[in-house]
Amino acid sequence: MVNWLKFLTNIITSEAFLEPAIMAILGYGIRLYGKNRKYRIILDITVDIVDYIEEHYKEWGIRGSEKMDKFLELFTEEFKKQIGRKPGKEELETARIRAEAQVQRARRLSNNKNK
């Protein structure tokens, strides 16, 4: 084996290198899992709340932007229950965009059924 390759192999397989590398990889994986879990929770909460609001907005007497205000209120409460803290600005924006997309999909489906 070439000397530089042997030297490099010895460094890479040493405990001084492997332990921090493994810890870094584990930390990265845990962080990705946490973000993915949070994103799934945001999506699940959003779909449930949009459906809930669409079923009850008439009896509550709300329309338009009031529905979004209600969504954000309910989303914040449910997010805090599941995650343990209030959602941040980015999380609220993601939820708002997802909610609007959910409503648009429902409208398109409804319009296609009525044709």
- Inform me whether the pLDDT recorded for 17 exceeds 80: no
The model carries a pTM of 0.68
Average pLDDT over residues 23-27: 81
Rounded to the nearest 5°, which phi and psi values hold at 85? -155, 165
What pLDDT sits at residue 1? 59
Share of the chain above pLDDT 90, in %: 46
In the chain, the amino acid numbered 78 is E
Measured in Å, how far apart are the chain's first and last C-alpha atoms?
74
In the chain, the amino acid numbered 94 is T
- Inform me whether the pLDDT recorded for 55 exceeds 80: yes
What pLDDT sits at residue 3? 84
